[in-house]
Chains A and B, each alone.
Chain A
Amino acid sequence: MEWNQETLQSLSQCFLNTLSPSPVPRRQAEAFLSSASEQPNYGLAVLRLVAEPTVDDQIRQAAAVNFKNHLRLWWAPSPADTTRILDPEKDQIKSLIVPLMLSSSPRIQSQLSEALAVISKHDFPQSWPNLLPDLVSNLQKASASSDYTSINGILGTANSIFKKFRYQYKTNDLLLDLKYCLDNFAKPLLDIFLKTAQLIDVAAGPGGAAEALRPLFESQRLCCRLFYSLNFQELPEFFEDHMTEWMTEFQKYLTSSYPALESSGPDGLTLVDELRSAVCENITLYMEKNEEEFQGYLNKFATAVWSLLGEVAQSPSRDRLAITAIKFLTTVSTSVHHTLFAGDGVIQQICQTIVIPNVRLREEDEELFEMNYVEFIRRDMEGSDLDTRRRIACELFKGIAANYKAQVTSILSAQIQNLLSSFATNPDANWKDKDCAIYLVVSLATKRAAGGSASATTDLIDVERFFNTVIVPELQSQSIKEFPMLKAGALKFFTMFRNHIPKGVALGLFPDLVRFLSSESNVVHSYAASCIEKLLLVKDEGGRVRYTSADISSVLLPLMNNLFAALRFPESEENQYVMKCIMRVLGVADISQGVAAPSIAGLTSILNEVCKNPKNPVFNHYLFESVAVLVRRASERDPSLISTFEASLFPSLEMILANDVTEFFSYAFQLLAQLVELNRPPIPASYMPVFTILLSPDLWNRSSNVPALVRLLQAFLQKAPHELNREERLSLVLGIFSRLVASPSTEEQGFYVLNTVIESLDYGVIATYMVNIWHALFTRLHKKRTVKFLKSLLIFMSLFLVKHGSVHLVDSMNAVQAGIFIMILEQIWIPSLKLITGSIELKLTAVASTKLLCECPVLLDATAAQRWGKMLDSIVILLSRPEEDRVEEEPEVPDLAENVGYTAAFVSLYNAGKKEEDPLKEVRDPKEFLVASLARLSALSPGKYPQIIAETLDAANQNALFQFCNSYNCPLV
Chain B
Amino acid sequence: MADENSPHRRDPIKSSVGNVAAQRRRQSAISVGKERRESLVRAKRFCRVSVSGGGGDDGDISLDHEMVIDEEDSILEAQTSSAVQELQTAVAFQGKGAMQKRVNALRELRRLLSRSEYPPVEAALKAGAIPLLVQCLSFGSPDEQLLEVAWCLTNIAAGKPEETRALSPALPLLIAHIGEKSSLPVAEQCAWALGNVAGEGEELRNILLSQGALLPLARMMLPNKGSTVRTAAWALSNLIKGPEQKAATELIRIEGVLDAIVRHLKKADEELATEVAWVVVYLSALSNVATSMLVKSDVVQLLVERLASSNSLQLLIPVLRSLGNLVAGDSRTTCSLLVPGHEITDSVITVLVKCLKSEHRVLKKEAAWVLSNIAAGSVEHKQSIFSSEALPLLLRLLSSSPFDIRKEVAYALGNICVGPAEGDGRPKLIVEHLVSLVKNGCLSGFVELIRSADTEAARLGLQFIELVLRGMPNGEGPKLVEQEDGIDAMEMYQFHENEDLRNMANGLVDKYFGEDYGLEESSS
Contact = CB atoms under 8 A, between A and B. Distances in A.
B402 interface: yes
Given A289-B453, A292-B402, A447 B488 contact: yes
Given A383-B491, A452-B482, A617 B3 contact: yes
B30 A451 contact: no
Interface string B477-493: 01100111101100110
Contacts of B497: 163, 166-167
Contact of A335 (B1, B402, B519): B402
Contacts of A449: 478, 482, 487, 509, 512-513
Contact of B514 (A170, A240, A451): A451
A545 B519 contact: yes
B482 A617 contact: no
Given A451-B515, A454-B478, A548 B31 contact: no
Interface stretch (A175-183, A368-376, A716-724, A924-932): A175-183
Contact of A237 (B33, B400, B425, B478): B33
Contacts of B31: 175, 234
B6 A621 contact: yes
Contacts of A457: 483
Contacts of A903: 1-2
Contact of B517 (A285, A454, A910): A910
Contact of B453 (A285, A454, A543): A285
A518 B98 CA distance: 111
A617 B456 contact: no
Interface in A525-552: 536-537, 543-545, 548-549
Interface in A214-265: 232-237, 240-241
A178 B492 contact: no
A543 B494 CA distance: 28
Nearest to B480: A454
Interface string A639-683: 000000000000000000000000110000000000000000000
Interface in B369-397: none
Given A182-B32, A234-B32, A448 B523 contact: no
A153 interface: no
B11 to A, nearest CB: 12
B491 to A, nearest CB: 5
Given A167-B497, A587-B520, A233 B513 contact: no
A524 interface: no
A633 B521 CA distance: 10
B1 A614 contact: yes
B50 interface: no
A172 interface: yes
A867 B519 CA distance: 51
Nearest to B2: A617
Interface in B1-40: 1-9, 28-35
B448 interface: yes
Nearest to A334: B448
Interface in B460-503: 478-479, 482-485, 487-488, 491-492, 494, 496-498, 500-501
Contacts of B487: 447-449
> Does more than half of chain A's interface fall in helix, strand or loop, or is it mixed?
helix
A857 to B, nearest CB: 39
Contact of B7 (A168, A398, A614, A618): A618
B32 A179 contact: yes
Nearest to A884: B424
Nearest to A913: B517
Given A383-B488, A449-B487, A175 B30 contact: yes
Nearest to A289: B403
A167 B495 CA distance: 12
Given A237-B33, A334-B448, A454 B455 contact: no
Contacts of A163: 497
A588 B520 contact: yes
Contact of A447 (B33, B454, B485): B485
A446 interface: yes
Contacts of B74: none
A275 B284 CA distance: 46
B452 interface: yes
B140 to A, nearest CB: 44
A904 interface: yes
Contact of A170 (B28, B402, B491): B28
A589 to B, nearest CB: 10
A36 to B, nearest CB: 24
A182 B32 CA distance: 8
A478 B498 CA distance: 50
Contact of A905 (B1, B29, B424, B516): B1
Contacts of B249: none
B428 interface: no
A351 interface: no
B459 interface: yes
Contacts of A587: 519-520
Given A170-B455, A335-B403, A454-B482, 9 more contacts: A170-B28, A170-B456, A289-B404, A450-B513, A454-B478, A454-B483, A588-B519, A884-B425, A885-B424
Interface of A: 163, 166-170, 172, 175-176, 178-179, 182, 232-237, 240-241, 284-285, 288-289, 291-292, 334-336, 383-384, 386, 398, 446-454, 457, 536-537, 543-545, 548-549, 587-588, 614, 617-618, 620-621, 629, 633, 663-664, 882, 884-885, 903-905, 907, 910-911
